[in-house]
Amino acid sequence: MNITQQLQVSLERRTNLIQIRVSDTEKKQIDDICELMDIRINKLCYEMLKFGLEQYLKENPQLLK
């Protein structure tokens, strides 16, 4: 087994241990936090895209005609 495979097995074992130790309540809290993070990341991506598009249209006003 090479080092990459050993690291993968070690990571899987640790992940399994963590999953076993997390209670249902904790899992719900983690899921809620992840959902909030997804919403914030999506909002940030939207704002960045909107800003970029506005800048592009300011620099290329002929596209609005």
Kindly report whether the global pTM for this prediction surpasses the value 0.75: no
Q: CA 35 → CA 24, 31, 32, 40, distances in Å?
A: 16, 6, 5, 9
Judged against a pLDDT cut of 90, whether residue 1 lies above it is answered with no
Q: HEC string of the chain? A: CCHHHHHHHHHHHHHHHHHHHCCHHHHHHHHHHHHHHHHHHHHHHHHHHHHHHHHHHHHCHHHHC
Q: Each residue of 9-63: pLDDT tens digit?
A: 888 877 776 666 667 788 889 889 999 999 999 999 999 999 999 999 999 989 8
Which residue shows structure tokens 């596209």?
63
Give pLDDT, residue 18.
Answer: 66
> How far apart (Å, rounded) are the C-alpha atoms in residues 20 and 44?
33
Give pLDDT, residue 19.
Answer: 63
Q: Each residue of 43-58: pLDDT tens digit?
A: 999 999 999 999 999 9
